[in-house]
Amino acid sequence: MLCTIAIGSEDLQSKIPPIPAAVTDNAVTTLRNGLEVYSIMGIGPKRTWDDVTSQVYILHISSGKWSTGRPVPGVAGRLGASAIGAKEKIYVFGGFTIDGQGNQSIVSDVNTFLPHEQRWYRAADIPVPVDSAVIGLNHDRFIYLIGGRSKNGPVNNVQVYNIETNKWSDGTPFPGTPVYGHAGGLGDDTIVFVDGARKNASGSGPAYVPSDECWMGKIDKKDPNKITWTRLPPHPGKARFGIVAGAREKDRKI
């Protein structure tokens, strides 16, 4: 099921304090059934290469307070990474770095954070490194990276990471236009994603333009790599890039 939920209560919003440092293009996920919210890396208000951070901030919903986690390992912070919580750990995938000349490098890193130990360790690298991918978790075991931007442009790969074996496999690619910066999630053995940016095939204008394609993929209950894809109608409004989505498998909603 695809649904949109707006939190419009001023009372609720007033109880959520602002993040300690303003960032965008950060990876965000939760643990403990949503009671801990993690903001990971991102870029600050200057929007320059030296304002990219590796910092981790944790919002504790029960107390309404933020704490600081151990920074993500590496010589530089990243943008466009994907993160998800599973089995009381945080998994952070890919993203890209920027140097002083504006050059971008998409990384294959997979970093796993153990909050109770405040410790990071390295997991198996992404076979096709990407940033700005849709991420989802199925049966608390399989993490899906859907699409994203590789060094050669957007891809339609579905890369499946097995938490228990620390190994990757290839899921059925989605048949639509390769995109990145799309929005979606996974719940009830179903992937849903919308929009994003695709290569501009016109040959003039910007290199990338918004895509209005929306897709649903049903994951086979016996084979986690087998996905049956169906195109969905475009959602209301203009196609967008960089919008945000989430999934809650318990509620069977995305």
Q: CATH number of the domain that 93 lies in?
A: 2.120.10.80
139 φ/ψ sector (left φ>0, alpha ψ -120 to 50, else beta): left
Alpha helices in 52-209 (DSSP H): none
The answer to whether the predicted template modeling score (pTM) of the entire model surpasses 0.95 is: no
Residue range 68-113, pLDDT digits in tens? 999 999 888 999 999 999 999 999 999 999 999 989 999 999 999 9
Question: φ and ψ at 251, to 5 degrees?
Answer: -90, -5
**Is the domain of 147 the same as that of 70?**
no
Q: How is residue 13 annotated by DSSP?
A: H
The reply to whether 129 falls in a domain is no
Question: φ and ψ at 250, to 5 degrees?
Answer: -60, -40
The reply to whether 101 falls in a domain is yes
Show the tokens assigned to 125: 């690298």
**Is the domain of 34 the same as that of 114?**
yes
Contact of 161 with 216, CB cutoff 8 Å: no
Query: What's the total number of domains in the chain?
Result: 2
For the four alpha carbons of 231, 25, 76 and 38, in that order, the dihedral sign comes to: negative
The reply to whether 218 falls in a domain is yes
Contact of 70 with 92, CB cutoff 8 Å: no
Which domain covers residue 19, as residue numbers? 1-123
Burial bucket for residue 186 (CB in 10 Å: 0-12, 13-18, 19+): buried
Show the tokens assigned to 120: 């990071």
Structure confidence at residue 245 (pLDDT): 87
**Is the domain of 112 the same as that of 4?**
yes
Show the tokens assigned to 46: 């200057």
Residue range 180-235, pLDDT digits in tens? 999 999 998 999 999 999 999 887 889 999 999 999 999 999 999 999 999 999 88
The reply to whether 20 falls in a domain is yes
Q: Does the pLDDT value for residue 248 go beyond 90? A: no
